[in-house]
Amino acid sequence: MKTYSLLGVVLLGLLFSSVPAKAEHEGKLQVLLVGDSTTEGSIPRKLSPKGPHLEEVIRVLLAAEKDLPPCNVINLGLSGEYVRRLLDSGRYDKQMAKLPGVDYIFIRYGINDYARREKFAENFTKDYAELIGRMRKDHPSAQLVIMTVIPYMDSQKSNEINTLNRKVAVQHRLPLFDIYPRYAQALKDGPNMLNYRRYELKNIPVQYHELVKPFVAENPPKVVVMDNQFDAHFGKLPGWFGDRHPNLAGYHVIGDETAKYLAKMIREKVKK
């Protein structure tokens, strides 16, 4: 398999695929992305299937750096996931544990952990410790990288999560890739420019239903658009901007910063 695109389709379509995940490890550095919906990007994949999506952005930007070796980037993020669920669901064992030749693993959790894990402040670091232990055993040659969350929640909650992410990195002597500042800086150009709009159809005035008909999906029906094309009509509706998941522009910000971070890491490793 010369690209990972088919792999991405299979993994995104099935939570527990009967086809084992394969990585093209021969002659390429293998980069694995692990995280929640803000890593996976399921809605952008549905609305713009040709992307480029997060993993492709990173791969192409790294390929443009001619002094770097070829890289294959595998995105195994999953919507709704948190560390405990990744481990308990068996998804880690089925899709990640046996991937061959993994060189770098970027791990970004915390948003769903905060919302769904009981005793979050106490259990988040414990869950992470278990995951890190498993990854170190299964991928002993891989460099693990802990990431902060993006500005999905308000600043107070985000800081609480990222304080624990920093704690995990220090405790396990792992590098911390702080994506939060770059994303927050980009949002200063427009607070809603990096998120898509997803809004229940029942809350949109009926006279606009014909206008939005091509953009209705999901159950219950929602209007889903990648950008600001309907802001002129619905921008003042309560909650129109409530969904903070990245759109394609948001993933370009994440991808650009990730490629810069990884390029520096690869170069430093080559020097040693």
Domain count, the chain: 2
Contact in structure between 194 and 250 (CB atoms under 8 Å): yes
Q: Tell me how many degrees the CA angle 71-32-218 measures, rounded to the nearest 5.
A: 115
Is the entire prediction scored with pTM above 0.75?
yes
Note whether 73 and 187 are same-domain residues.
yes
Q: Which long-range contacts (CB under 8 A, 24 or more apart) does 66-72 make?
A: 67/267, 68/263, 68/266, 68/267, 69/28, 69/29, 69/266, 70/27, 70/28, 70/29, 71/28, 71/29, 71/30, 71/31, 71/262, 72/4, 72/23, 72/24, 72/25, 72/28, 72/29, 72/30, 72/31
- Reported in sequence order, the residue ranges of the chain that DSSP labels E, i.e. its strands, are 29-35, 71-75, 102-108, 143-147, 176-177, 197-200, 216-217, 222-225
Whether residue 227 is contained in a domain is answered as yes
Note whether 72 and 114 are same-domain residues.
yes
Note whether 156 and 226 are same-domain residues.
no
Contact in structure between 69 and 28 (CB atoms under 8 Å): yes
> Along the 272 residues of the chain, how does pLDDT read in single tens digits?
333 343 343 333 333 333 334 455 778 999 999 999 999 999 999 999 999 999 999 999 999 999 999 999 999 999 999 999 999 999 999 999 999 999 999 999 999 999 999 999 999 999 999 999 999 999 999 999 999 999 999 999 999 999 999 999 999 999 999 999 999 999 999 999 999 999 999 999 999 999 999 999 989 999 999 999 999 999 999 999 999 999 999 999 999 999 999 999 999 987 76
For residue 258, the SS3 value is helix
Note whether 15 and 126 are same-domain residues.
yes
Note whether 28 and 160 are same-domain residues.
yes
| Residue 262: both structure tokens together | 């990884």
Give the rounded distance of the alpha carbon of 98 from its chain centre: 21
Note whether 143 and 27 are same-domain residues.
yes
Note whether 50 and 71 are same-domain residues.
yes
Whether residue 240 is contained in a domain is answered as no
Could you give the C-alpha distances from 271 to 7, 249, 264, in angstroms and in order? 33, 33, 11
Specify the pairing of strand 176-177 against strand 29-35. Answer: unpaired
Note whether 19 and 115 are same-domain residues.
yes
Whether residue 242 is contained in a domain is answered as no
Whether residue 133 is contained in a domain is answered as yes
Note whether 224 and 163 are same-domain residues.
no
Note whether 42 and 172 are same-domain residues.
yes
Range of the domain at 50: 5-192+247-271
Note whether 171 and 44 are same-domain residues.
yes
| Residue 203: both structure tokens together | 């809350």
